[in-house]
Amino acid sequence: MNNKPFVIGVAGGSGSGKTFFLNCFLNHFTPEEVCLVSQDDYYIPVGHLSAEENKLYNFDLPSCIDIEAFEKDITSLLNYQTVYKKEYTFNNSNAVPKILEIKPAPVLIVEGLFIYHYPSVDPLFDYRIFIDAATEIALERRLHRDLMERGYSEEDVMYKWENHVMPAYEEYLLPHRNRCNKIADNSTNELRNILDLTDEISQELRLKLNI
């Protein structure tokens, strides 16, 4: 294996199950073999917004991400330098952000909505994964997450879904689907499906990278 870390992209729409997929996938590797950087931790802070402004603010745009900081930290990890990053808490006043320590590893996973959209980031990927899910399943997951974890009302969630989430998915994410190495259908909540898929991909990568 050459000196450059092998870079894997994991993208998918809101509610596609990226987090669950990643948790399963990471279980196939040791902390010394793989590291993860999430686009979510690079949102430009908007904590000054009122509750009503926050409801209308569109987080589902590539311009909401601090792309310079995102690219800088990915470059540091590619050069085997440790990155320290404050966790983004999605304006949840009850959450205390942690300082994330991201240690470099031979396999670098970059995940997020827009990772294949940015011209400065997209060429870095050696392997692209797209997590897919039926719209009604994705919405059900989004509702559960935002109601339970982020304190939004159902009205707020539906407004964002219809006016922000789906338009952004169709414009900035869906066009990249068919050029990915692996498209993972995560339209069911069957644990076995994701376990089998992550096992298949991890075995493929171990053979490819000899790790």
Q: What CATH code is carried by the domain that includes residue 189?
A: 3.40.50.300
What pLDDT is stored for residue 45 in this prediction?
A: 83
Q: Is residue 157 part of a domain?
A: yes
Residue numbers of the domain that contains 118: 6-209
pLDDT of residue 132: 94
User: How confident is the model over 5-20, as a mean pLDDT?
Assistant: 94
| Mean pLDDT value of segment 181-207 | 87
Q: Looking at the domain assignment, is residue 136 inside a domain?
A: yes
**What is residue 2's predicted lDDT score, i.e. its pLDDT?**
54
The overall average pLDDT reported for the chain is 90
Domain count, the chain: 1
48 within some domain:
yes
Looking at the domain assignment, is residue 192 inside a domain?
Answer: yes
**87 occurs within a structural domain:** yes
- On whether residue 1 sits in a domain, the answer given is no
pLDDT of residue 1: 44
The 3-class secondary structure across 50-82, one letter per residue, is CHHHHHHCCCCCHHHECHHHHHHHHHHHHCCCC
pLDDT for 85 equals 93
- Comparing 94 with 7, the larger pLDDT belongs to 7
Residue 102 counted as domain residue: yes
What is the per-residue pLDDT for 92?
63
Q: What is the pLDDT of residues 124-140, one digit of tens each?
A: 999 999 999 999 999 99
User: Dihedral through CA 170, CA 172, CA 176, CA 182, nearest 10?
Assistant: -80
What average pLDDT score do residues 171-193 get?
Answer: 90
Q: What span, in angstroms and rounded, lies between the C-alpha atoms of 209 and 5?
A: 10
Residue 50 included in any domain: yes
Mean pLDDT of 76-103: 86
Q: pLDDT tier at 117 (50, 70, 90 boundaries)?
A: very high
Q: In b/e form, how buried is each residue of 1-34, taking b as 16+ CB within 10 angstroms?
A: eeeebbbbbbbbbbbbbbbbbbebbbebbeeeeb
